[in-house]
Amino acid sequence: MYIISNKVLVSLRVFYYMPDYRNIIQELMWQTMDVKPKYPRVNKYLNYWKNNIEAVIADIEIAETKQTQPKIKSLADIFKY
């Protein structure tokens, strides 16, 4: 039996603020490989943040990209000089 991996590259933009400075929104970018559709690594990360970090998450944007094998080109193919 073969297990098909649904791993995708997941990018998170987390907008957060510190409780003492509610008017200052900060941003954090984070990427990881995760399994669709439940995203266990993303959930683990956000639960850790909620339980251990003082900053309050105001908003989250999530994007995913399927990973494919990179195509290798030589420099001479890219830059014609």
With cut-offs at 50, 70 and 90, classify the pLDDT of residue 74. Answer: low
Residue 62: the pLDDT is: 92
pLDDT of residue 80: 57
Which residues have a Cβ under 8 Å from the Cβ of 66 and sit 6 or more positions away?
8, 9
Are the CB atoms for 15 and 25 separated by under 8 Å?
A: yes
Phi, psi dihedral angles at 67 (to 5 degrees): -85, 130
Q: Alpha-carbon distance 54 to 17, whole Å?
A: 9
Q: Which domains does the chain have, with CATH numbers?
A: 7-78 (3.10.20)
Question: For residue 61, what is the enclosing H or E element?
Answer: strand 56-65
Q: In this predicted structure, what is the pLDDT of residue 1?
A: 46
